[in-house]
Structure 1
Amino acid sequence: MYENILVPLDGSKNAQKALSVAIKLAKTFSSKLTLLSVIDNRNFSGNRSVVNTAPIVTTDEITELSKYSDNVINAGLQVVKDNGLEAKTLVKRGYPKSIIATDVPTDENIDLIVMGKSGTGALDRLIMGSTTAYVVRNAHVQVLVVNDD
C-alpha cells in the first residue's frame, strides 16, 4: 500500500512518536523509510537583502544547527536499525514547510508522510503557522499526523 514513507525529524517527542508509527507501517507494508531533517536557512547571511547584510545566524550557529540535524538523523536511524529495518537519510537546507510537503516527496517518490502534530519550532508556529498544518494543506501525497501521548 505504501512503498516509500517520509518521516521528518526535528528532535521533538512528536517526531519520535511519528517515527515509531512509521516503523510499524514499514514493517506491515514492506515500505522503504526516508528520514529527513531540515535546517531552516532563511536567516543565514547568504539569504539577506543588500540593504541589511549582517547575518542573523553566525557561522558557529550554522555549524551547531548542522550538528544538531546530523544527531537527530543518526538517532532516528539507530531506532530504525534497532527495529530491524534500514532507512535512507537526508539533511536538507531551506524552507522546511515546502521541503517536507513537496520537494522531498517529489524527488524521492514518497507516497506517505508520517509526521508529528507539533515539533520544536514553537515561535515559528506562532508567527507563521505550524509546519504540520502546511504539509497537510499542500502535500500531494497522504499525510499521517501522529500525536505524542
Structure 2
Amino acid sequence: MTQIYKRILAAVDGSSESKAAFQKARRLAEREGAELLICHVVDTTSYAGMEHYNTSFVKGLEEYSQNLLNEYKAEAEKEGKVKIITIMEHGSPKSKIPKSIAGKYHVDLIVAGAAGMGAVERFVLGSVSEQITRRAACDVLIVRADKQ
C-alpha cells in the first residue's frame, strides 16, 4: 500500500545536509500535494544560561533562525505551488522536532539531513537525525548531501 503524505516537515539548520533535506522535502510535497512545514529549532542547549547575561546573543540566534526560514520559504514559493508553514521553536532539536513539533502539526513525514559527525562525537552527543529517527511516531527520511 502506498503512503500518502499530507504534511511534510523539513528540519533545517543552515548546513548543506539540511539544504539537501529541504530540497527533497519540497519535491516530495509538490509530488504528493502536501503542505510543507519548514522548521528550525534554536538549540537552547548550546547557550543554556547565557540569555540572562547576553540578550543580544540570543536575539542574534533568533534573527539568524528567522532569516534562514524566510530564505527557505522564498525558495519554496519560487520553485512550486505548495502551502508553506514556517516554524521556529526553542529547545533541543533532538526532542522538539520528533515529539513536540511533529505531534502539534500532525506531521506524516519528517525529512532531515544526515549528520556529518565522527564516531566519537556521535557516541558522546548523539546526532539530531539519529534521535529524530528513534523518537518520531511518523515516518522519517534522512538525506545525505551530495559529496563534491
Which TM bucket (shorter chain)? 0.7 to 0.9
Give yes or no for the alignment of 1:25 onto 2:21.
Answer: no
- Aligned residues between the structures: 139
Amino acid at match of 1:92: E
The answer for unaligned runs of 5 or more in structure 1 is 46-53
Give yes or no for the alignment of 1:98 onto 2:95.
Answer: yes
Amino acid at match of 2:79: N
Distance 1:92 1:57, change over 3 A: farther
Match of 2:79 among 71, 79, 83: 83
The answer for unaligned runs of 5 or more in structure 2 is none
Please say if residues 69 and 91 of structure 1, whose CA atoms lie closer than 8 Å, have aligned partners that are also in contact. yes
- Percent identical pairs in the alignment equals 30
- Deviation, structure 1 residue 134: 0.5
Please say if residues 5 and 113 of structure 1, whose CA atoms lie closer than 8 Å, have aligned partners that are also in contact. yes
Task: State the TM-score, normalizing by the size of structure 2.
Answer: 0.85
Q: Which residue of 2 aligns with 1:12?
A: 15
**Structure 1 residues 88-97 or 55-64, which shifts more?**
55-64
Q: Provide the rounded CA distance (Å) in 1 between the counterparts of 2:56 and 2:34.
A: 38
* Aligned-CA RMSD value: 2.2
Distance 1:6 1:64, change over 3 A: same
Q: Provide the rounded CA distance (Å) in 1 between the counterparts of 2:97 and 2:62.
A: 17
